[in-house]
Amino acid sequence: KDPVVRPLSPGGTEAADFRLQRLIGRERFKTYINTADMIRKAGKSLLIIVPDRLSMAYFKRAIPDLDIYHSSEKKSIRDQIWEKYATGEGGIIIGGLSALFLPIQNLAAIIVEQGNTLFTGRGQLSGDTDFKIIAKKRAEALGCQLIIGTPCLSIQQYKNQSEKASAVHFPETQPIEVIRIKRNEKDFFSQITHLVKGYHAENKRVLILLNRIKPKALLYCDKCKKNIRCEKCKRYLGLEKQTSGVCPHCQATIPSNCPRCSSHLSHLKFPSTDTLEQVFKEQVSDSQLLSISADESKDPVALEKSIHQHRIVISTPFIIGPYFYDMFDAVIYYRPESHFDMDSY
């Protein structure tokens, strides 16, 4: 059950000792910890780049005596770390993008955790620099090892592997059931409540993931089974936009009946963490329900304790990561494509 390791052949511009490894799967964390131990014993330095605070908290718990170089730390602490590694001392550093620019004199390896997530490849959407490119340039220039770890193959990597004769084989995983729920179906809440009730009756801890915190409702025709658009600007009309009687985008009058069939309009509620919390409190359990967002990630220890005290947890996708492995018996992930990260899904 070792992680898949795929070396990159050195090119003409790379330093002699440059090596790249891709670690895929959960076992990658053992490799990280072993690598940190070996580098520490050799008196050299290891740089770990992580996508979020929870990943940082996991490594802080798994690897002792880490130096955290992150914007959440005081400037005086960051300055001390900068001076420490600029003078040639060895150690283990963890951080985000800014840590990649530390003047580390004896860097033996760089680890980029979750290397196929949106965090490390934001250049595709926002124009920011891809973390992996910077990490690779540093590793090449210094002649050190670069380890890119991912929970799974990216969709493109999986496609490339499947087209080869020697495709990568993975150990068996937990079963995944994909249930198609059309956007216009009104019985979403009854379906997901039925699922949660089943897990709750079996005394299992279930995680429900959604990428929407606040509720949203659109004008909807039950007869046509379609959402209503503004006839002028063609944007969907929401419940919060109906109160003024005009479209907030173009000031066109909002219809009171369906433009297609003249039927009375209703409101189609889109699920959010807030609406699910209300539904589960009423229909499943109030005392066993916990709803969280990324704000709680500032204190992962307290959050972990709170999760252990509840059986139903509603969260945005920030919770995906190694810190909360083995804490849930089941995960319901609604519309993962809204997170722009199908690889993690």
pLDDT in tens, 108-164: 999 998 755 555 444 444 444 577 888 888 898 888 999 988 877 666 666 776 666
The span from the CA of 86 to the CA of 88, in Å, is 6
Amino acid residing at 46: L
pLDDT of residue 174: 61
If pLDDT is split at 50, 70 and 90, which confidence band does 173 have? Answer: low
For residue 16, pLDDT beyond 50: no
Question: Does the global pTM surpass 0.85?
Answer: no
Question: Do 284 and 196 contact (CB within 8 A), yes or no?
Answer: yes
Burial 215-228, CB ≥16 within 10 A → b, else e = bbbbbbbeeeebbb
**CA angle at 208 for the pair 131 and 200, rounded to the nearest 5°:** 150
Question: Do 47 and 110 contact (CB within 8 A), yes or no?
Answer: yes
Q: What pLDDT, in 10s, does the model give residues 263-307? A: 988 877 777 888 889 889 989 988 899 999 888 888 888 999 999
Question: Do 45 and 38 contact (CB within 8 A), yes or no?
Answer: no
Check residue 257 and report its DSSP letter.
B
Higher per-residue confidence, 4 vs 252: 252
- Beta-sheet pairing, 19-24 with 226-227: unpaired
